[in-house]
Amino acid sequence: MSGAPFQHVAIIGLGLIGSSIARAVREYIPDMRTSGFDASEETRAKAKALKLCDHIGSNPADGLDQADLVILCVPVGAMEQVLADIAPHLATDAVISDVGSCKSSVIAAMRAKVPGHIFIPAHPVAGTEKSGPDAGFSSLFQGRWCIVTPDANTDSAAVERLSRFWQVLGADVETMDAAHHDMVLAVTSHLPHLIAYTIVGTASDLEDVTQSEVIKYSAGGFRDFTRIAASDPIMWRDVFLSNKEAVLEMLQRFSEDLSALQRAIRWEKGDELEELFTRTRAIRREIIEEGQDDAAPDFGRSHE
Amino acid sequence: MSGAPFQHVAIIGLGLIGSSIARAVREYIPDMRTSGFDASEETRAKAKALKLCDHIGSNPADGLDQADLVILCVPVGAMEQVLADIAPHLATDAVISDVGSCKSSVIAAMRAKVPGHIFIPAHPVAGTEKSGPDAGFSSLFQGRWCIVTPDANTDSAAVERLSRFWQVLGADVETMDAAHHDMVLAVTSHLPHLIAYTIVGTASDLEDVTQSEVIKYSAGGFRDFTRIAASDPIMWRDVFLSNKEAVLEMLQRFSEDLSALQRAIRWEKGDELEELFTRTRAIRREIIEEGQDDAAPDFGRSHE
């Protein structure tokens, strides 16, 4: 495909995101070559059965040097080790990128392990609660944002090529400072996951209400939280540890606001509650207007 | 329809739930007569345009005494006043019920205002984030639970008739003690709404992250919370005030669990995080197995 930003992408880690990239490349850049690497034999077997990539293997010595774009799709806590493992096998002029949900720690790992390479951290803000190579799909990035966080020294032509790659996969691309990215994602993604994990844990640990009752009556609101609390445990453990400072900061803000609301309930300040509940409704409307969620009631869940 | 548990239902309040009952009765019990009452002229006009009921009005003197089943579908904070207004116009043998999300306060209002009538509190655990007569649909109660909370003195034949009514509308019926209902719903519905309202408020009040960034990158998880934070403000204000004790109790548990998780992040106890995140995943699976949520990834949101 003439004008394609890269000729050969190597995807390291064939989970939900990695396998979605492989599928999207197949669909939108059919002439691009794809290599997939994964340490798990089970994942490789599934990926082979799905014919996700032209080449699927575990050993980076086995052709990684042919790729002009290498994207790490592993949990952020594994990035440093994976970078160390692949470093000797990278083509000199390959662009190294990733899809991690926090950028500062990934940048530190890239600086330490692949200092001689062009590395451009990136984060497609997309996903589902499912994991593994069979969970991916080619349209995952359509209409979603991909945030790239180069620093002042990053080759701008390479940033442009990587941005074009993501655009072809359907994403809108935004450039941002890595520290700011980590703060933004702490509130739009990490804090929501933390809260969801907590409430699902709380609900399953009560004496007066059984777990079976919690499940039975979950349609009252609880079930909405269980979706993101079903996300990959390892991936999310790593996110919270890697983006610790920003997450703790947002958590502090949230706890203060929750205390204020608790006080409003205790003192029966109905006006304060109503004011907040009216304000939050407007934000939902804007998210739908911006095309970042389904306008259908109930997320478009089927009501047969 | 022979064997129908009631001949004529009066629905007081034609919002999401009231209008869904009207539609479901039309569809599943076509011979049953329906009267709809609403204090809002705008709501009545919409309800008339939608032909929701055989009779639509505002004045209970106007035919309410014809109904053998009266269901209050107004915010729980309005129940007492509405009961006082309709009491003189109720048929002596009519069954009075409601759909409120907390039962103890509604029971107190029923005891005070319609002591001579058979009243059976009920709560269909179903809904969407939309409000108003145009938001309802006839299949809303299909496969959802309806909890009835009679006390020891309630006429059991009447409970049986009300249960049959909800079953014909598609719901599974469970009988429960009112206080226990309020505790169960505090965790499966009220706490999730409170948390969702809080986090959406927190996210819109930051200095370092703009509201437009929060909206743009909401697909990272935040948008899941905005759906229930878009629910009717008056209805939810009333729920928190009416079920204050149980909500504050659950909130306390949640806050403790959140503090523990905060501490695990601060001290980088990855194992604790992973253990919780693995446990919560299993609960999602059970909710889907029980048919209480869509098995499709991402709630079945469309990925065009």
Given an 8 Å threshold on Cβ–Cβ distance, is B125 in contact with A227? no
Please give the helix or strand (H or E) that residue A81 lies within, else none: helix A79-86
Facing B223 at nearest CB: one of A206, A293, A301 = A293
Q: If you measure CA to CA, which chain B residue comes closest to A223?
A: B293
Residue B1: its pLDDT value, please? 41
**Contact between residue A15 and residue A43 where contact means Cβ atoms under 8 Å apart:** yes
HEC string of chain B equals: CCCCCCCEEEEECCCHHHHHHHHHHHHHCCCCEEEEECCCHHHHHHHHHCCCCCEEECCCCCCHHHCCEEEECCCHHHHHHHHHHHHHHCCCCCEEEECCCCCHHHHHHHHHHCCCCEEECEEECCCCCCCCHHHCCCCCCCCCEEEECCCCCCCHHHHHHHHHHHHHCCCEEEECCHHHHHHHHHHHHHHHHHHHHHHHHHHCCCCCCCHHHHHHCHHHCHHHHHHHCCCCHHHHHHHHHHCHHHHHHHHHHHHHHHHHHHHHHHCCCHHHHHHHHHHHHHHHHHHHHCCCCCCCHHHHCCCC
Which of B170, B257, B230, B204 lies closest to A204, judged by CA? B257
A31 token code pair: 């002439």
pLDDT per position as a tens digit, A127-162: 999 999 999 999 999 999 999 999 999 999 999 999
Which of helix, strand or coil describes residue A10?
strand
pLDDT per position as a tens digit, B213-258: 999 999 999 999 999 999 999 999 999 999 999 999 999 999 999 9
What's the mean pLDDT in B13-42?
98
Given an 8 Å threshold on Cβ–Cβ distance, is B293 in contact with A227? yes
Superfamily of the domain at A8-176: NAD(P)-binding Rossmann-like Domain (3.40.50.720)
**Residue B268 touches partner A, C-beta closer than 8 Å:** yes
Residue B302: its pLDDT value, please? 80
**Residue A208 touches partner B, C-beta closer than 8 Å:** yes
B7 token code pair: 């001949």
**Contact between residue A180 and residue B206 where contact means Cβ atoms under 8 Å apart:** no
Q: Which of B280, B285, B289, B301 to mutate to test the interface with A (most CBs of A within 10 A)?
A: B280
Q: What pairing do the DSSP bridges indicate for beta strands B55-57 and B69-72?
A: unpaired
Please give the torsion angle defined by the CA atoms of residues B152, B157, B163 and B164, in that order, rounded to the nearest 10 degrees: 170
Residue A4: its pLDDT value, please? 83
What's the mean pLDDT in A85-98?
97
Beta partners for B37?
B12, B57
**Residue A265 touches partner B, C-beta closer than 8 Å:** yes
* Partner B, chain A 281-300, Cβ-Cβ below 8 Å: 281, 283-287, 290, 292-294, 297-300
Cα-based distances in Å from B275 to A30, A79, A195: 41, 22, 16
How many other CB atoms are found less than 10 A from the CB of residue B167?
Answer: 15
Q: Which of B198, B255, B272 to mutate to test the interface with A (most CBs of A within 10 A)?
A: B198
Given an 8 Å threshold on Cβ–Cβ distance, is A192 in contact with B145? no
A116 vs A134: CA distance, rounded Å? 35
**Contact between residue A65 and residue A152 where contact means Cβ atoms under 8 Å apart:** no
Topology given in CATH for the domain delimited by A181-292: 6-phosphogluconate dehydrogenase C-terminal fold (1.10.3660)
**Residue A215 touches partner B, C-beta closer than 8 Å:** yes
Handedness of CA A33, A169, A230, A191 (dihedral sign): positive
Residue B2: its pLDDT value, please? 47
Given an 8 Å threshold on Cβ–Cβ distance, is A257 in contact with B129? no
Model confidence at A47: pLDDT above 80: yes
**Residue B197 touches partner A, C-beta closer than 8 Å:** yes
Q: Is A16 exposed, middle or buried (0-12, 13-18, 19+ CB in 10 A)?
A: buried
What's the mean pLDDT in B275-290?
94
B26 min Cα distance to partner chain A (Å): 17
Cβ contacts from A onto B, under 8 A: 371
Model confidence at B293: pLDDT above 60: yes
What's the mean pLDDT in A111-139?
96
How many other CB atoms are found less than 10 A from the CB of residue B218?
Answer: 28
Q: Is B212 exposed, middle or buried (0-12, 13-18, 19+ CB in 10 A)?
A: exposed
Residue A68: its pLDDT value, please? 98
Q: If you measure CA to CA, which chain B residue comes closest to A226?
A: B284
Query: Considering the domain B181-268, what is its CATH architecture?
Result: Orthogonal Bundle (1.10)
Residues of B in contact with A183 (CB under 8 A): 208-209
Model confidence at A55: pLDDT above 70: yes
A259 vs A92: CA distance, rounded Å? 54
Domain boundaries, chain A: 8-176, 181-292
Cα-based distances in Å from B208 to A140, A252, B199, B212: 29, 14, 16, 12
Given an 8 Å threshold on Cβ–Cβ distance, is A287 in contact with B215? yes
Using pLDDT thresholds of 50, 70 and 90, give the confidence band for residue A304: low
Which of B123, B178, B173, B170 lies closest to B149, judged by CA? B178
Counting residues of chain B whose pLDDT is more than 70, the rounded percentage is 99
**Residue B220 touches partner A, C-beta closer than 8 Å:** yes
Which are the contacts of A228, defined by CB distance < 8 A and separation ≥ 6? A129, A192, A193, A196, B221, B224
Buried b (16+ CB within 10 A) or exposed e, B18-30: bbbbbbbbbebbe
What integer best gives the mean pLDDT of chain A?
96
pLDDT per position as a tens digit, B163-187: 999 999 999 999 999 999 999 999 9
Residue B156: its pLDDT value, please? 96
Model confidence at A78: pLDDT above 50: yes
Pick the range with the lowest mean pLDDT from A194-198, A293-297, B118-122.
A293-297
Q: Rounded to two decimals, what is the model's pTM?
A: 0.94
Residue B4: its pLDDT value, please? 83
What's the mean pLDDT in A177-193?
97
Chain centre to alpha carbon of residue B90: 24
Residue A36: its pLDDT value, please? 98
Which of helix, strand or coil describes residue A254?
helix
Asked whether this chain's domains B8-176 and B181-268 adopt the same fold, the reply is: no
pLDDT per position as a tens digit, B69-128: 999 999 999 999 999 999 999 999 999 999 999 999 999 999 999 999 999 999 999 999
Using pLDDT thresholds of 50, 70 and 90, give the confidence band for residue A1: very low
Which are the contacts of A142, defined by CB distance < 8 A and separation ≥ 6? A170, A171, B303, B304
**Contact between residue A115 and residue A87 where contact means Cβ atoms under 8 Å apart:** no
Residue B304: its pLDDT value, please? 62
Residues of B in contact with A147 (CB under 8 A): 217
Model confidence at A210: pLDDT above 80: yes
Residue A70: its pLDDT value, please? 98
Name the strands in the sheet holding A8-12, side by side, starting at the edge strand that comes first in the sequence.
A55-57, A33-37, A8-12, A69-72, A95-98, A118-120
* Partner A, chain B 19-78, Cβ-Cβ below 8 Å: 77
